Structure 1
Amino acid sequence: MGLSWLFVVPLFANDLEQETQAAQLPTIVSEATPSEAPVKPAEHVDLKDVVQEPQDSAVADTSSAEESPSMEPSPPPESAVIEHEQNTDDQPVTESITSQEPVATQTPADIEEPVGPLAAQPLVMLGSEVAPGTSARLSWTPNVSFMGIAAPTPVLVVHGAKPGPRVCLTAAIHGDELNGIEVVRHVLYSIDPAELSGTVIGVPIVNLQGFRRSSRYLPDRRDLNRYFPGNPKGSSAARIANSFFSSVVQSCDMLIDLHTGSFHRTNLPQIRANLRDPAVEALTRKMGSIVVVHSAGRPGCLRRAASEAGVPAVTIEAGQPLELQKQAVTHGIKSVETLLDTLGMLDRRPFWELKAEPVFYQSKWVRATAGGILFSDVSLGDRVKAGALLGVITDPITNSRQDILAPVAGRIIGMALNQVMYPGFAAYHIGLHSSVEELKSEPVEASDTVDEDGDSSLPEELVPAETDERLLEDS
């Protein structure tokens, strides 16, 4: 699978949802967009089409689309237009490309829609109306930069011909996490809207600014996954989080947020979920044979904010940053497709090698107690006994050796790659064989001491001063 991007800047895009739709969802007011913007029909785009032959590049002119007084969409172009991101100068380059065969573009009026009780209603979001049985490329713009250089973030929508739930897939909230991007691309571009019951909304790259720079962070070095649901009058990160949350997340019935490990760490494919929330726990049961790890998530992370706003949400963690890993991508795709199948949205029935994977209601990170270079003796997924050798840290100057031993029995669900370590660095994440009864009887604070990247989520005043602040962040 390759990264075959087909991002189009739509003719009509803004961040306002229809008032009737917003009234059904938790209200978080965003001041990033005008309050009285017209809703315009979205152009149907066949997301199953694969573009194969790039041609000469051209500079896109989006101003004419924004200033056009016409309410009707323009005629379908002969060639598809995509926005291709390059890291050379951090500027978007728009390429005009054509497929080997002409693309039969349909407008909503050209598509026969079912009638009666099985007919889905049009989807209104981001200032556009997506007709049942169609797919579209919309865009979300946070409006926190100069209007002349604002970069719209593509939002892919497949709106089924039959009614059903709205499932949202988000990836690259951290711009260096690539596996989730490919999961979203594959899932969205493989769905035929005529066969879909409900809606799948995919945002392959939420943090477009960080993605351009191969960076985890926003340009101001803030972690976007610390600021949800956001604040329309807060910091730049808080405003971006608020705009995305109110414009996209609140349009959904459930959310799957895709991540990888952070800072040279890798994760066994797993679901992070607050298993104390019945709606979230029920969601994890629909996602197939994948490891589940209980974690409430620290305040400010997207899945916790979404769940607290009434949108059940989980995180899929798989693999490491800055690299596309086929096994991690495949596992993520199968888990998402299993969910869609279980919900009755699609008929996929993915095959799983194992009938079931464990649920870890508790987990523990093992930290380095000395500085040096780490060499691991275990791999992701290994089952270890208490006292087993996990790895060795060697000081290249003094030749001293520090063994890292497993303090408990369990399974390696996350680990640092072989690298330079300092005292306090998180090295191995072990899932413990505990039960749901232990979870229910344990105080909330005691079991939630692990964040998304496997680091302590204890209150800041309880964290040792020498601990690297980066280790306190979710992945």
Structure 2
Amino acid sequence: MGLSWSFVGPLLANDLEQETREAQPPTVVSDATPSEAPVKPAEHVDLKEVVQEPDEAVVPDAKTVDEPPGVEADQSPETAVIAPGQSEEAEQVTDTTTPVPVIEQTAAVAEKPVGPLVAQPLVMLGSEVAPGTSARLSWTPNVSFMGIAAPTPVLVVHGAKPGPKVCLTAAIHGDELNGIEVVRHVLYSIDPAELSGTVIGVPIVNLQGFRRSSRYLPDRRDLNRYFPGNPKGSSAARIANSFFSSVVQSCDMLIDLHTGSFHRTNLPQIRANLRDPAVEALTRKMGSIVVVHSAGRPGCLRRAASEAGVPAVTIEAGQPLELQKQAVTHGIKSVETLLDTLGMLDRRPFWELKAEPVFYQSKWVRATAGGILFSDVSLGDRVKAGALLGVITDPITNSRQDILAPVAGRIIGMALNQVMYPGFAAYHIGLHSSVEELKSEPVEASDTVDEDGDSSLPEELVPAETDERLLEDS
């Protein structure tokens, strides 16, 4: 799979047709009256056409005399580009069957008077997206200087047939790149004529942090600490409230994509509150990927969404500030498996493993001495209790501190080799346990895993002034 950053230009273009809007109070956007939120038809944007490579571009006047009236040349099967994730068989069928342009199929479906089998228009962010079309909308929190405020692109593929609304979000932390590519690939590979339901993608939620390659908002606040937000609170709380009410509450389920933070990396995994039946059911639809129980700390997006009735999980994969093909591929497969299982698309991604474990408990191993870390294990390794995980050496005194596994399990997250200080999270171990153990323990007892691969510090390691970064979700 080729990784492309060509989407950055279109996403940040100044000629977005969607008008920017004021930050909204925490209400469902679709319930707004016309006087409060004027609605206008959204311009259809052929997302599949946008991903064409330069050498595959279609000559504008390449229309043939045999084409049906009203069909553009670049929509004919002879020049169709196979989208990422589409099989070679699909390409062969397109080349050997009677040409039926996608746009004609979409129109035919929309015109059939079959009532509930035809999707209704989607009203969102002040725009109405017609069934069987895709669009680029924009969300503007409107809490920065008006002269430099920039709209955040929101990609929408609204299927010709009814179905659930799935939201994909990435880069709530601006330095986490893998999720951006997952959202781009998934959204730009969907043909709305074949989709049942709606897929809403926000590749870069924290646009200001992304521009600065920073995890944080410009005021150094972590956006993933303030959901569902407050329209009269801090800048971060207002941004969170605007996004939550304008986008998240318009959806039926949410997949929030992240990576490890602060020079840490995560095995591709789902973080989910497995005590929530709707969330637990969602994880079962996402294919062969490790699942780790975590209720999520207050203020993180997935917890706020679930508490608001929108089942949500986090996909953690890889490390920040770097695009990693394996992590991206795993994320794409998991999302596409969900869309297939929900009956929204026919994708059926191939998984090397038929099943991955569910870890109802996990434990972080922290450094007890300062120095430079050299790991002896890798992500995904299974370790026994007492196994050597890594060594911390002091470059001045040449002292050595071994880090041993306190329990048997699997390495699902770890720090990269780096300078460590006492209390730094070094290794995240998934424990082999059962759902019965999860049900029998207190609600907060197992909730020690934060979204970024950090957990609450053990009492013996709590410093006088706790470094807030060690407690943050990713």
TM-score normalised per structure 2: 0.84
Partner of 1:357: helix, strand, or coil? coil
Q: Judge conservation of contact 1:373–1:418 (CA < 8 Å) in 2.
A: yes
Partner of 2:398: helix, strand, or coil? coil
1:39-118 to 2 correspondence within 5 Å? 39-49=39-49, 50=51, 52=53, 113=110, 114-116=112-114, 117-118=116-117
Q: Which runs of 5+ in 2 are unaligned?
A: 56-71, 75-100
Partner of 2:138: helix, strand, or coil? strand
Shift in CA distance, 13/105, structure 1 to aligned 2, threshold 3 Å: farther
Partner of 2:365: helix, strand, or coil? strand
Alignment partners' CA distance in 2, 1:417 and 1:458: 19
Of all paired residues, the percent bearing the same amino acid is 90
What's the CA shift for 1:466? 5.3
Q: Judge conservation of contact 1:16–1:125 (CA < 8 Å) in 2.
A: no
2:6 is aligned to 4
1:88 is aligned to none
Partner of 2:352: helix, strand, or coil? coil
Q: Judge conservation of contact 2:102–2:193 (CA < 8 Å) in 1.
A: no
1:275 is aligned to 274
Q: Deviations over 1:289-348 (max 9, x none)?
A: 000000000000000000000000000000000000000000000000000000000000
Q: Judge conservation of contact 2:24–2:231 (CA < 8 Å) in 1.
A: no
Alignment partners' CA distance in 2, 1:457 and 1:310: 27
Q: Judge conservation of contact 2:47–2:188 (CA < 8 Å) in 1.
A: yes
1:431 is aligned to 430
- Over the aligned positions, Cα root-mean-square deviation in angstroms equals 2.9
Shift in CA distance, 276/395, structure 1 to aligned 2, threshold 3 Å: same
Alignment partners' CA distance in 1, 2:35 and 2:427: 49
Alignment partners' CA distance in 1, 2:309 and 2:174: 26
Write out the 4+ residue segments of structure 1 that deviate beyond 6 Å after TM superposition. Answer: 16-19, 104-107, 458-462
Shift in CA distance, 35/258, structure 1 to aligned 2, threshold 3 Å: farther
What's the CA shift for 1:280? 0.2
Q: Judge conservation of contact 2:21–2:142 (CA < 8 Å) in 1.
A: no
Q: Deviations over 1:42-77 (max 9, x none)?
A: 0000001125559xxxxxxxxxxxxxxxxxxxxx9x
Q: Which runs of 5+ in 1 are unaligned?
A: 55-75, 79-103
Q: Deviations over 1:415-458 (max 9, x none)?
A: 00000000000000000001000000001121001111222247
Shift in CA distance, 24/11, structure 1 to aligned 2, threshold 3 Å: closer
Partner of 1:240: helix, strand, or coil? helix
1:124-139 to 2 correspondence within 5 Å? 124-139=123-138
Alignment partners' CA distance in 2, 1:118 and 1:462: 59
1:296 is aligned to 295
TM-score normalised per structure 1: 0.84
What's the CA shift for 1:288? 0.1
Partner of 2:328: helix, strand, or coil? helix
What amino acid does structure 2 have at the position aligned with 1:361? Y
Alignment partners' CA distance in 2, 1:321 and 1:353: 25
What's the CA shift for 1:17? 11
1:202-213 to 2 correspondence within 5 Å? 202-213=201-212
Q: Judge conservation of contact 2:167–2:248 (CA < 8 Å) in 1.
A: yes
Alignment partners' CA distance in 2, 1:315 and 1:459: 25
Partner of 2:429: helix, strand, or coil? strand
Q: Judge conservation of contact 1:228–1:305 (CA < 8 Å) in 2.
A: yes
Alignment partners' CA distance in 2, 1:16 and 1:220: 20
What's the CA shift for 1:270? 0.0
Aligned residues: 421
Q: Judge conservation of contact 2:22–2:140 (CA < 8 Å) in 1.
A: no
Alignment partners' CA distance in 2, 1:201 and 1:17: 19
1:182-331 to 2 correspondence within 5 Å? 182-331=181-330
1:38 is aligned to 38
What's the CA shift for 1:122? 0.1
Partner of 1:180: helix, strand, or coil? helix
Alignment partners' CA distance in 2, 1:148 and 1:176: 25
2:340 is aligned to 341
Higher helix proportion, which one?
2
Partner of 2:183: helix, strand, or coil? helix
Q: Judge conservation of contact 1:15–1:247 (CA < 8 Å) in 2.
A: no
What's the CA shift for 1:37? 3.0
Q: Deviations over 1:238-273 (max 9, x none)?
A: 000000000000000000000000000000000000
Partner of 1:147: helix, strand, or coil? coil
What's the CA shift for 1:10? 2.6
Alignment partners' CA distance in 2, 1:112 and 1:16: 35
Q: Judge conservation of contact 2:333–2:349 (CA < 8 Å) in 1.
A: yes
What's the CA shift for 1:34? 11
Shift in CA distance, 459/41, structure 1 to aligned 2, threshold 3 Å: farther
What amino acid does structure 2 have at the position aligned with 1:3? W
Alignment partners' CA distance in 2, 1:276 and 1:410: 22
Alignment partners' CA distance in 1, 2:172 and 2:34: 25
2:79 is aligned to none
2:369 is aligned to 370
Shift in CA distance, 382/466, structure 1 to aligned 2, threshold 3 Å: farther
What's the CA shift for 1:13? 2.7
